[in-house]
A and B are shown apart, each in its own frame.
Chain A
């Protein structure tokens, strides 16, 4: 009858030592529980849940994109131009983008008003 000799690699020995430490200190129970919770969460997550969650993240990213761009743009314009006079302010309103932005802000307040 032939005898099988199994040689343990250094990596396997290291892993065994670390696992032994986890078992001896009782930490293994919590880690197993944690893995079980992770697994349960994956199991219970559905595609519609992912879609709704990612949609919320996309909305936040969109708000971040618009806000960051607008602040940078406004700062640049402020640096380039002097503070306008009253009539200068009115002149700004001739710009279509300014008017679009203003209408958006007004509608934004309406949208908030509808919810409070």
Chain B
């Protein structure tokens, strides 16, 4: 009987995995033994890291948005139908249209979303670059500021050892902000204050979520006159008086608050009852090796939805997608998964507008910081503005 594989989510994780599965299962597809379907809440594909460039006027935004159908192989049936119910007992996902999508294997790749409302006053008083709307809003403020203070804050999920989206992004944007304000000629009059919470996964009282990088950051920030302060876990914001208050009892006034806000899994996941995460954050309990949802034999997950300690970023997904595709292919062919994820994350950090730092780490080894370079920046730019689309299509 024909096996049905359903992918929920048309972002980086869903798209890469759908195409990789179609390639790996082509013999079965040709024999009409396997059917691939994807449902998404949007006809468009948004490449989220591009928003960072929008925040600093280095892209308009449209460069990072494409028609989802154009990124999928024709063997994948695509439906714009937001998922509203996941039933893992009866093996189906229900769409907003009322349609029921049955599956033999399910891949949950619904990402995560900004949940600024979890911090009182943040939605009104803060800004962020993790969405295109947010990036456009903060870009306008960055373009106009002549003097004052820009405060950088970072919030982690309440669930232990789960990172916020894209761990390096607060550092990247702080460095980009310095370059951008220098380009504008107002850096001397604008103070940048980078803060970090007391607890950041395994690191306490640091400036980054991994120890080796945390240790070198004070020197890096000092070299560009960025003030830095640890032990500042944003608790609430007074939007009228523009003051940020921390759980540790400190307060800092600001003109612009560039925040890494709280994140949560998609509503359909939070409502599914599959997550055990604190505060109804919705992270899926994920087997760190097979990438199956723990306790479910035929449900896989990857990307920003998981509760793993690795970065919620494209450079993670690129290393997870083949594990999921290979394991599903193996289960169909042999009856058991064969591949194991080692926690590998590969990326190029944008350490300023013209400097890129290649980085890699896994479950065992932290990132070893290296000097950034112009070539590194070209690599990052080349990937973001071109090669990403080939990666999403499963071509690299």
**A residues apposed to B, CB below 8 Å:** 42, 45, 47, 50-51, 53-55, 57-58, 61-62, 64-65, 69-70, 73, 76
User: Would you call B390 an interface residue if the criterion is a C-beta within 8 Å of the partner chain's C-beta atoms?
Assistant: yes
- Contact status A47-B354, CB under 8 Å: yes
Cβ-defined partner of B385 (8 Å) among A42, A55, A70: A55
Shortest Cβ gap from A38 to chain B (Å)? 10
Q: Are B381 and A57 in contact (CB under 8 A)?
A: no
Cβ of B375 within 8 Å of any chain A Cβ, yes or no, is yes
Cβ A57 vs Cβ B385 within 8 A: no
A55 contacts B386, C-beta separation under 8 Å: yes
Residues in B with CB closer than 8 Å to A58 are 385-387, 389-390
Interchain CB contact under 8 A, B74 and A69: yes
Distance from B47 Cβ to chain A, minimum over Cβ atoms (Å): 12
Q: How far is the CA of A70 from the CA of B393 in the complex (A)?
A: 14
Contacts of B382 in A (CB 8 A): 50, 53-54
Residues of chain B having any CB pair with chain A under 8 Å: 30, 70, 73-75, 354, 374-375, 377-378, 381-382, 385-387, 389-390, 393, 395
Contact B374 A42 (CB under 8 A): yes
Q: How far is the CB of B176 from chain A (nearest CB, A)?
A: 13
Write the chain A residue with the least CB distance to B71.
A65
B74 & A57 in contact (Cβ 8 Å cutoff): no
A51, A54, A69, A73: the one within 8 Å of B387 (CB) = A54
The 8 Å CB contact of B389, one of A42, A62, A73, is: A62
Chain A residue contacts of B386, Cβ below 8 A: 54-55, 57-58, 61
Contact A51 B395 (CB under 8 A): no
**Set of chain B residues within 8 Å of A76, measured between Cβ atoms:** 30
Q: Is the CB of A51 within 8 A of B385?
A: yes
Q: Given A62-B389, A65-B395, check contact A54 B30 (CB 8 Å).
A: no
Residues of chain B within 8 A of A70, CB atoms compared: 74
Q: A50-B381, A54-B382, A61-B395 are known contacts; what are 18 more A-B pairs with Cβ within 8 Å? A: A42-B375, A45-B378, A50-B378, A54-B386, A55-B385, A58-B385, A61-B386, A61-B389, A61-B390, A62-B70, A62-B389, A64-B395, A65-B393, A65-B395, A70-B74, A73-B74, A73-B75, A76-B30
Contacts of B389 in A (CB 8 A): 58, 61-62
The listed residue with most B CB atoms (<10 A of its CB), out of A42, A50, A53, is: A50
C-alpha gap A42/B375 in the complex (Å)? 7
Interface centre among A45, A57, A65 (most CB of B within 10 A): A65
With A61-B395, A65-B395, A69-B73 in contact, is A51–B381 under 8 Å at CB? yes
Closest A residue to B30 by CB, please name it: A76
Across the interface, which residues of B come within 8 angstroms of A51, CB to CB? 381, 385
A-B contact pairs, 27 of them (CB 8 A): A42-B375, A45-B378, A47-B377, A47-B378, A50-B378, A54-B381, A54-B385, A54-B386, A54-B387, A55-B385, A55-B386, A57-B386, A57-B387, A58-B385, A58-B386, A58-B387, A61-B389, A61-B390, A61-B393, A61-B395, A62-B70, A64-B395, A65-B390, A69-B73, A69-B74, A73-B74, A73-B75
Report the separation of the CA atoms of residues A69 and B73 in the bound assembly, to the nearest whole angstrom: 6
In the bound complex, what is the Cα–Cα distance between A62 and B374 (angstroms)?
A: 27
Q: How far is the CA of A53 from the CA of B378 in the complex (A)?
A: 11
Q: How far is the CB of A55 from chain B (nearest CB, A)?
A: 6
CB distance from A52 to the nearest CB of B (A): 10
